[in-house]
Amino acid sequence: MSGLRKRDLLSYLAHTDEVDANDVARAFGVHYSVAAMGLLRLVRQGLATRDRDATQGIYRYRLSGRGQSRLLYLEQRGDVRPQPHPVKAPHRPVSKE
């Protein structure tokens, strides 16, 4: 896979608590730079949010409310093409803060 489709990335974020660009790169089999740019585009469009992890210094991404609405729209529109390989979200323990 040479790139990321918006709908696939939104769907991936919908099934995870939060991810970083390395998680996305591994899940989709793309370079880190492709994953990071895809996530940044979603943030700039208001479809995802990002926060910097103070301990690790990396950005963590989550689907925004607007992103959830866009994903629902894309799914209802029928913009769903089957993926060649289903992508599973990484298992991450949820921190209790």
- Structural domains of the chain, with CATH: 6-77 (1.10.10.10)
Amino acid found at 64: S
Phi, psi of 90 (to 5 degrees): -70, 145
Q: Which residues pair with 49 in a beta bridge?
A: 62
| pLDDT the model gives residue 37 | 95
Please identify every stretch of the chain with a pLDDT value under 50, giving residue numbers as ranges: 1, 84-85, 97
| pLDDT the model gives residue 57 | 85
- Is 63 strand, coil or helix? strand
| pLDDT the model gives residue 1 | 36
| pLDDT the model gives residue 35 | 95
